[in-house]
Amino acid sequence: MIETLTYEYPASQGVQQRAHVGVVASGNCEILLEPAADGSASIVVRTSVTGFGTTWQAVLKRFFARNPVAVRIEINDFGATPAVVALRLEQALESAL
């Protein structure tokens, strides 16, 4: 069973280019990040580890509160912990700026 979760947050900053980090391996995730035109951050998470919607929400909300960037993000997840997700998001953002 794959769970697909979507989130959206307000954004005020832009990014220069798209970025791709990570790999869909156990305990890890892949992130595709692209600039978005519409001044918001929209995220789609696809994960095979179901039932952690509230945790994803908390991680993403915190990240975009600290980094209000207008991006479209796809996360393909295979059980990454919040620590790994946060690190991958940081890595993706750094490559995109």
Partner 1 sequence: MRRRRKDERLARVAHVVRDGRIETKDATTVLQALLEPGDRVCLEGNNQKQADFLSRSLAAVDPAFVHDLHLLISVIGRPEHIALFERGIASHVDFSYSGPQSLRLAQQVADGRVRVGAIHTYLELFARYFVDLTPDVALVAADEADADGNLYTGPNTEETPTICEATAFRDGIVIAQVNRLVERCTRVDIPGDWVDLVVVADKPYYIEPLFTRDPELIDDVQILMAMLVVRGIYERHRVRSLNHGIGFDTAAIELILPTYGERLGLRGEVCTHWVLNPHPTLIPAIESGWVRSVHCYGGELGMERYVAARSDVFFTGRDGSLRSNRAFCQAAGLYATDLFIGSTLQMDRDANSSTATLGRIAGFGGAPNLGSDPRGRRHSTQAWLEMTSSDEEVRRGRKIVVQLVETFQESGIPTFVERLDAVELGRGAGFPIAPVMIYGDDVTHVVTEEGIAYLYRARDLDERRAALAAIAGVTPIGLRASEPQTQDLRAAGVVAFPEDLGVRRNEANRTLLAARSVRELVQWSGGLYDPPKRFRSW
Partner 2 sequence: MTVLLAESFAERGARERARALLDAGSFRELIGPFERLSSPYLATQGVVPQSDDGTVVARGTIGAQRACVVATDGRFLGGSIGEIGGSKIAGALELARRDFERGSPTRMVLALDTGGIRLQEANLGILAVAEICDAIVALRLVMPVVAVIAGRVGVYGGLALSTSLCSTIIVSEGARIGLNGPDVIETESGLDEMDSSDRPLIWRVTGGRMRHEQGFASEIVPDDVAAIRSAVERAFADPHPLPALEAPAFPDPRLERDAFLRALGIEP
CA atoms within 13 A on the CB side of 64: 22
Q: Decide whether 4 or 54 has the Cβ nearer to partner 1.
A: 54
Nearest approach in angstroms of CB 20 to partner 2 is 5
Q: Decide whether 14 or 79 has the Cβ nearer to partner 1.
A: 79
Stretch that binds partner 1, among 4-12, 36-44, 56-64, 67-75 (CB under 8 A): 56-64
Helix, strand, or coil (residue 41)? strand
**42: contact with partner 2 by CB under 8 A:** no
**53: contact with partner 2 by CB under 8 A:** no
Tell me which of partner 1, partner 2, none is bound by residue 44, counting a contact when its beta carbon lies within the kind-specific cut-off of 5 to 8 angstroms: none
Are 1 and 48 within 8 A, CB to CB?
yes
In 25-81, where does DSSP find H-type helix? 53-66
Nearest residue to 75 (alpha-carbon basis) of 38, 48, 35, 94: 48
